[in-house]
Chain A
Amino acid sequence: MELITSWLGNVPDFAVPYALAALGLILTERAGVLALGAEGLLLAGALASIGMQLALGVTGLSLLAGMAAAALVSVLFAVMVIILRINQVIAGLTLVFFCQGLTSLLGTLLEWTNQPIQGLPALALWPLSELPLIGRLFNQNLMVYLTAPIFFAVVWYLQRSTSGLRLRAVGENPQAADAAGIPVIAYRFAAVMAGAALVGLAGAYIAVLSTKMWIADMSGGRGWIAVALVIFARWSPWKALVGALLFGCIEALIPQLAAAGIRLPQYFVLMTPYAVTLGVMIWVALSGRGQNDQPGALGEPYVREERR
């Protein structure tokens, strides 16, 4: 019983970064830009937020710094794939390696590594926090609660606003969008940067609120899981949220099992999220469901005067 309670209590802490990162990726990819660089953007967001936290100690500013840093790095990516029309897969992978190298280097040079910091205190949402079994779900830091309105806002934007309609048109059929007078390049740029900011926020969360220190490569493959999550969710934010919770549950279970004295090989445990990712993706492919939900122009650069 105690096991389940504390397990559930830890789920949001693991699920929030997945939810935010997947949301950012969906925003970018709905505009037709394939965003494989999430892992790198997580690290950029994480390092920048740690730096800000060590400098000023204001958590809100640290999170904003993480968003800004990721958005800034993504400008490089946007120029590569939108203006120069470099292959989006290659540009995305390059971005990851670039960020991994750069953040490790800066983290060491600036001596930010392993410096513990103060996170945010847990806020109990009374009376929900007094509920049996799931009470601890409502005893989380402020950012966990803020994730909900952020999520709603982005979903609202995508599904219920004219600008969101235009963004999706750009991702589905940029020729049509252009002919309708929508600035395709500007929309894609904005989508890449806004999406990156959300991924950066996820990275900042991992660093400042979850791990509470900087460790090189601390994202530990979560960016890749977010990429898989978006495919699994067929670019739907709500399904991505469910997936994020699922992965949050799995990750939160690992320390619980250890605490309960169930001894599993360490590397087997660490492998679990990836094994689930693989399984889920194979299942999605085999079941053949929602094959057409992918944005029509995903990964395709747009040029106006191109002739076949």
Chain B
Amino acid sequence: MPNALQLEGVSKSFDGYKALSDASFTVKWGEVHALLGENGAGKSSLMNIAAGLYAPESGHLLIDDNPVRLKGPADAARERIGMVHQHFKLVKPFSVAENILLGLPKRAGSHRARLLETERLVAEKAAEIGFAIDPRQTVATLSIAEQQRVEILKVLLAGARILILDEPTAVLTDQEGERLLSTVRKLARQGAAVVLVTHRMSDVKRFADRVTVMRGGRTITTLDPAGIDIAELVKLTVGESPSLPEHTRNEAGPVRLQVRGLRSPERGGRRILSGVDMDLRAGEIYAIAGVGGNGQSELANVLMGLPEPCEGEVQVDGLGDLLSASPAQRRELRIAAIPADRYGLALAGNLSIADNFAIGQVHNGRYGGFWRLREGVVRADTRAAVERFDVQGARSPGQKAALLSGGNAQKLVIAREFSREPNIVLAHSPSRGLDVRAGAAVHQRLLAARDAGAAVLLISEDLDEVLALADRIGVMSGGRIVAEFERPADRQAIGKAMVDHA
């Protein structure tokens, strides 16, 4: 098969940080080529260069073996390169067709006629590749999976033949991801060149024709995934195999957190939370599994103390009603919260690592009273925590927290939340978007907290994570816990419970 897109010896740095050094990559017509690597390995940066969004500092780009220079996304579109970004580039208040029209080349004719034409093209293309999409619907009302389909339709209708998908399955459920990747493979079989940027080994094994592994901004090797097993792939991406956390069943202690009949107000004939009952015991990890959007986020909000209208009872050991507790009382109870939105809720990106760390204990006077901040202590504590929790990329405590990569930002959150031995740990998708090693570190911490006697609640859509960590599993569907499982739990049975009650 002839080469479609080639990147040779590409380097790129951001603010002195070398994101790519001498990376090379080739995708051929008719293949699905996976680009595998940990977070921060440079996969997205490399592909953003191919899509014309970033300009490389050195190296070149060849299309059909001819060197080309991309000045911007418009040039890339002209070369028939289309990229579906991890964070969708859609205009939310616009309709599907309007979004797609934006990316189409200028043509004569009235706007109205072009919009109708686009609606027809979208419907046609969607039917052809098996997507159910109404071209007139507003993007803001679509689910994540549907928005992704719009992105794919957008690049296809703009004439893309070299298709770059950046972490396409990260936001999808297992079934949705499978359907998407089958479609993508069909497109490759029809002659397109597909680049699949991912850190999921199973996607690579099942759907890729070739795989290029990236590590630390370099391309390590390119090989045939059929000839290598997952353990080998993991080893190549992380440099060494991370050990899976050892799990032994703990004897659970007394109930620390009791939820009874937790419901959100009725809206449009349904309640997002429709009567959650659960008990969380000391010394156990209770995991809530379920398909996304069944009330997990709302439950997490209620328990973490974020504004969320609800009624019902949440009793916590040592205080009573948690719903009316002030943030100070929550702190006093030593409830550690690890929200899903790391940068939005858990960290203040523009503040320093030290400030982000110290804020957890400012109230108890450890860092001085009202008038004085004992900066020396803050810095010393931060340094110790950064060391202990292995937060990498923290050159100094004064560095902005936003500069940390996803995994290290999460480690910083955990470092702060665990700085006082927590009684209760509330973790929502704690390893989402993290690479294998960072995810394993997060899991280690949760297990350690459990072993130290904390009651750990893990809300996660990743069934592997749930199965690896949980002592008990509650399946959430339609806003309540529909089934509970003891360890060792049967994966099939859980999956069935997740779908049956939907």
The smallest beta-carbon distance between B403 and chain A, in angstroms, is 9
**Is the C-beta of B98 less than 8 angstroms from some C-beta in chain A?**
yes
* Contact A308 B349, CB 8 Å, known A179-B53, A181-B72: yes
- Among B51, B54, B91, point to the contact of A177 (Cβ < 8 A): B91
B343 x A305 contact (CB < 8 A)? no
Q: Are A169 and B102 in contact (CB under 8 A)?
A: yes
B111 at the interface (CB under 8 A from A): yes
Question: When each residue 46-75 of chain A gets 1 if its CB lies under 8 Å from chain B and 0 otherwise, what string results?
Answer: 000000000000000000000000000000
A165 sits at the interface (CB 8 A): yes
Contacting residues of chain B (128-158) with chain A, CB-CB under 8 angstroms: 154
Besides A166-B102, A178-B53, A180-B73, 18 more A-B contacts (Cβ < 8 Å) are A160-B111, A168-B91, A169-B91, A172-B94, A173-B89, A175-B87, A175-B89, A176-B91, A176-B99, A176-B102, A178-B89, A179-B53, A179-B89, A181-B74, A181-B77, A305-B14, A307-B14, A308-B349
Query: What chain B residues lie within 8 Å of A266 (beta carbons)?
Result: none
Cβ-based interface call for B93 (8 A):
yes
Taking CB atoms and an 8 Å cut-off, the chain A residues in 200-245 that contact chain B are none
Chain A nearest Cβ from B252, distance in angstroms: 40
> Smallest CB-CB separation from A182: which chain B residue?
B102
| Interface range for B | 20 to 34
Within the assembled complex, what's the spacing in Å between the Cα atoms of A13 and B285? 72
> Quick one: which of A165, A166, A179, A296 contacts B73, CB cutoff 8 A?
A179
Residue of B nearest to A169 (CB): B91
- B91 and A173 contact, CB distance less than 8 A: yes
For the complex of A and B, list the 8 residue pairs with the smallest distance between their C-beta atoms, beginning with the closest: A181-B74, A176-B89, A180-B103, A179-B89, A180-B102, A172-B91, A173-B91, A162-B111
Q: Indicate whether A304 reaches chain B with its CB closer than 8 angstroms.
A: yes
Who on chain B is nearest to A292 by CB? B93
> Complex Cα distance A165/B94, Å?
9
* Nearest-neighbor residue (CB-CB) of A165 within chain B: B98
A296 and B343 contact, Cβ closer than 8 Å, known pairs A165-B111, A180-B103, A181-B77: no
A108 near B: Cβ within 8 Å?
A: no
B402 within 8 A of A: yes
Whether a CB of chain B sits under 8 angstroms from the CB of A272 is no
Q: Does B32 contact A (CB under 8 A)?
A: no
A115 CB–B CB distance under 8 Å? no
Please measure, in the bound complex, the distance between the C-alpha atom of A181 and the C-alpha atom of B257, giving whole angstroms: 52
A296-B91 Cα distance, complex, nearest whole Å: 9
Let me know if A179 and B85 touch, CB within 8 A. yes
Q: How far is the CB of B166 from chain A (nearest CB, A)?
A: 12
Which residues of B are found within 8 Å of A173, using beta-carbon distances? 89-92
Closest to A305 in B: B54
Residue in B51, B98, B103, B106 whose Cβ sees the most chain A Cβ within 10 Å: B103
Q: Is B114 part of the binding interface, using a Cβ–Cβ cutoff of 8 Å?
A: yes
Count the A residues whose beta carbon is within 8 Å of the partner chain — how many?
A: 24
Interface residues of B in 68-100 (CB under 8 A from A): 72-74, 77, 83, 85, 87-94, 98-99
Contact (Cβ within 8 A) B92 A296: yes
Residue numbers of B with Cβ under 8 A of A are 14, 51, 53-54, 72-74, 77, 83, 85, 87-94, 98-99, 101-103, 106, 111-112, 114, 154, 343, 349, 402
> In this assembly, does A114 line the interface, its C-beta being within 8 Å of a C-beta of chain B?
no
Interface residue A87 (Cβ < 8 Å from any Cβ of B):
no
Q: Which residues of the partner chain A approach B98 to less than 8 Å between Cβ atoms?
A: 165
Kindly provide the distance from the CB of A152 to the nearest chain B CB, expressed in whole angstroms.
Answer: 15
- A177: B residues at CB distance < 8 A: 91, 102
A-B contacts, 13 listed (Cβ < 8 Å): A160-B111, A162-B106, A162-B114, A165-B102, A172-B91, A173-B92, A177-B91, A178-B73, A179-B85, A181-B77, A304-B54, A305-B53, A307-B14
- Whether A5 is near chain B, meaning CB under 8 Å from some CB there, is no
Neighbouring B residues of A180 by C-beta, 8 Å: 73, 89, 102-103, 154
Max chain B Cβ within 10 angstroms of own Cβ: one of A161, A168, A169, A178? A169
**A308 with B53, Cβ < 8 A, contacts A175-B89, A177-B102, A296-B93 known:** no
Return the contact of A162 from the options B53, B73, B101 (Cβ within 8 A): B101
Question: Which residue of B is nearest A296, CB measured?
Answer: B92
Most chain-A CB neighbours within 10 Å: which of B87, B89, B101?
B89
Evaluate contact between A181 and B73: CB separation under 8 angstroms. yes
Select from chain B the residue with minimum beta-carbon distance to A162. B111
Q: Mark A163-196, 1 if CB is under 8 A from B, else 0.
A: 0111011001101111111100000000000000
Please, which residue of chain B has its CB at the minimum distance from the CB of A156?
Answer: B111
Question: Given A165-B98, A165-B101, A308-B343, does the pair A179, B91 have CB atoms closer than 8 Å?
Answer: no
Query: A258 vs B220: C-alpha distance in the bound complex, in angstroms?
Result: 84
CB distance from A111 to the nearest CB of B (A): 50
Chain A residues with CB under 8 Å of B112's CB are 160
> For A175, what are the chain B residues with a Cβ–Cβ distance below 8 Å?
87, 89
**From B91, B98, B114, residue with most partner A Cβ within 10 Å:** B91
Q: In this complex, what residue of A is CB-closest to B19?
A: A307
Give the distance to chain A from B232, nearest Cβ to Cβ, in Å: 32
The winner among A165, A166, A292, A305 for most chain B CB atoms within 10 A is A165
A106 to B74, CA, bound (A): 45
Is the pair A169, B402 in contact by a Cβ cutoff of 8 Å?
A: no
Task: Write the nearest CB–CB distance from A183 to chain B, whole angstroms.
Answer: 8
CA of A165 to CA of B102, assembled, Å: 8
Contacts of A165 in B (CB 8 A): 94, 98, 101-102, 111
Q: Which residues of B contact A176 (CB under 8 A)?
A: 88-91, 99, 102
A173-B91, A175-B89, A308-B349 as given contacts; A181 in contact with B402, CB under 8 Å: no
How many Å lie between the Cα of A182 and that of B94 in the bound state? 16
Q: Which of B83, B114, B343 sits near A179, CB closer than 8 Å?
A: B83
Distance between Cα atoms of A296 and B106 in the complex (Å): 25
Nearest CB in chain A to that of B349: its residue: A308
Residues on B with beta carbons closer than 8 Å to the beta carbon of A164 = 111
CB < 8 Å neighbour of B94 from A161, A169, A181: A169
Closest B residue, CB atoms, query A171: B91
The answer to whether A181 touches B101, judged by C-beta atoms less than 8 angstroms apart, is no
Question: Chain A contacts of B402 at CB under 8 A?
Answer: 308
Closest to A297 in B: B91
Determine the chain A residues whose CB is within 8 A of the CB of B94 once the complex forms: 165, 168-169, 172
Q: Complex Cα distance A24/B51, Å?
A: 35
Q: Which residues of A are found within 8 Å of B90, using beta-carbon distances?
A: 173, 176
CA distance A172 to B91 in the complex (A): 6
A287-B115 Cα distance, complex, nearest whole Å: 35
Residues of B within 8 A of A305 (CB): 14, 53-54
Task: Find chain A residues with CB under 8 A from B154 CB.
Answer: 180
Residues of B within 8 A of A160 (CB): 111-112
B114 — which chain A residues lie within 8 A by C-beta? 162
